[in-house]
Amino acid sequence: MKDIILIGSGNVATHLGNSLKKRGFNIVQVWSKHINNAKILANRLDCESTSSIKQLKKADLYILAVKDDAINQIISQLKDITIVHTSGSIDIEVFNHRVSNYGVFYPLQTFNKNVDLDLSKTPICIEANNKKFENKLMNIARELSRNVIQLDSESRRALHIAAVFACNFSNHMYTISEKILSESNLDFRLLLPLINQTVTKLKDHNPSEIQTGPAKRNDKQLIDSHIIGIKDAKFKELYTLISNSIISHNE
């Protein structure tokens, strides 16, 4: 499985394409519905580009790395090829037995095209419709990462929900901090040592063990004074609900 075609040109396709090429795979072609996007990535990967599903070339493996809501529509146009999608939340059965070898190749990571990333530590979660293809996918994944696991669709969905809390929602907590600080003309970067220390502790401790703060101590007086101090009504509501969640978790 050396010849690979990328269906998609976004964050995931870009990082996977770069890493696969570095590991000696041959990227044959990049598809995007926007030909310019296909060209940009194809240029980086020194391969062909297209915006037509009908003009897809032959390859050993097609990697479908597009937005979740485009997956169905693209699959419906495909002939019998060997294919994986890269989504954390779409069931493997989306391929609906239209093809003989299908699976999932889900890198558990937050991708931005222009932020460098070392995929070697990124867990890659593999699922396939048959054992032989699963083994092939595991081998490809192991070329990219030291952390490859087999995971069925139900577990992958739980993992994806957990990742939304751990990554997207924690980042929103930082965004709220940034907003509160900017109202007092304070720089968000003041918080970086604190944020780094919180994350560093996770290496050796479960998050539930290292919880600190007023809600952990059930310090109702301080919680109330904070709520009074918050100007934005939505942030007040979030402060209250998350504090209550911490309190009830520690009861």
Q: Which of residues 132-171 bind a copy of itself (CB under 8 A)?
A: 147, 149, 154-155, 157-171
Residue list 221-240, contact with a copy of itself (CB under 8 A): 221-222, 225-226, 229-230, 234-235, 237-239
Query: Binding of a copy of itself at residue 249 (CB under 8 A)?
Result: yes
Residue list 95-114, contact with a copy of itself (CB under 8 A): 108-112
Closest to a copy of itself by CB, 1 vs 173, is 173
Residue list 177-206, contact with a copy of itself (CB under 8 A): 177-181, 183-186, 188, 190-199, 201-206
Of 67, 38, 42, 41, give the one whose Cα is nearest residue 53: 38
Of 169, 147, 160, 162, give the one whose Cα is nearest residue 86: 160
* Smallest separation, CB 198 to a copy of itself (Å): 5
Closest to a copy of itself by CB, 23 vs 207, is 207
For residue 15 the two structure tokens come to 């990082």
Residue list 33-92, contact with a copy of itself (CB under 8 A): 67-69, 89
Residue 91 one-letter amino acid: D
Which parts of the chain fold into alpha helices (H)?
A: 11-22, 35-45, 68-75, 131-144, 153-163, 170-183, 192-201, 220-229, 233-249
DSSP state of 126: E
